[in-house]
Structure 1
């Protein structure tokens, strides 16, 4: 049998005055942190990732994802029409003009035309919008992201805009701004997720 001894000494009362508020504050802090933890969509069981890719995805999500992008009144069709004006533009790393552009540069320039600020760099662009893991769930105007398209320590290495009908527009290193199928084996095995910004 457990006996509880009540100590009403001045020292005991002073102890309680000091430590009970601290204990209560700690409980509130833990509860608040739990409530605010960001939850992301579960990775698709159809998405075949090796151990390193899964680990890299977890690290990417922990660093921040699904940020809101202010698109004002721009529609997916308007965005796509602008992107298609750059078809045939040659590829160059870091480029953002009709002279030459890279994959994230195509997105930066397209969005900027409509007054939308998107960072340059596929990995940072992938932090905006609701994550969609299933290719079959992508909608026209979604952004689409890939890994391991070239040798780098970055996780997400390529970006484009989904056009619908299993096609996306992007700046390819070999073809410049072009339209490709998501079922092309090169792109299909490197697809990581899409994001919905509209």
Structure 2
């Protein structure tokens, strides 16, 4: 029991640290976005509803059982099911980050993007940390129908982009999920900067070598 408590304490502090880092750099704002991380016993710690990622308190994080039942902590975010969907489909994942980051949301609103893979492979680090980015059709925030749509897309990718909403990214660790989300946002920014210009993305052979 003490080992789990120690693990949970460290993970709570890490969630708070990552949340503040994302907030301070403008990758999230107000009370938008949420972070979760999974303990070795299957329980999940998650940022609560109406909480700014810039001012989280470790003891107020929501805690869920391995079966997805809210156990204690503050009232969970209404988007908790997004995280649970990712954990169900990506069983190796230890954390999930969901943001409303500006450039990623902007790309999700564009017409004529490829719903199977929204962003082209512009850089090596995007390919290594994100890989492919399918688009999930638009549903209102908190709509449980979004769960099925996310689960379907997450079968083949650890990162998905919610139309007119933002990215949901899973990683083996919280830092993996954070770095992949940041790489996604920077690639979305590059994509918008290059929009209308001829580009030279990585070739299929180059992508295969990186993977």
TM-score bin (small chain)? under 0.3
Give the greater-gyration-radius structure (CA): 1
TM-score (norm 2): 0.25
TM-score (norm 1): 0.26
Higher helix share: 2
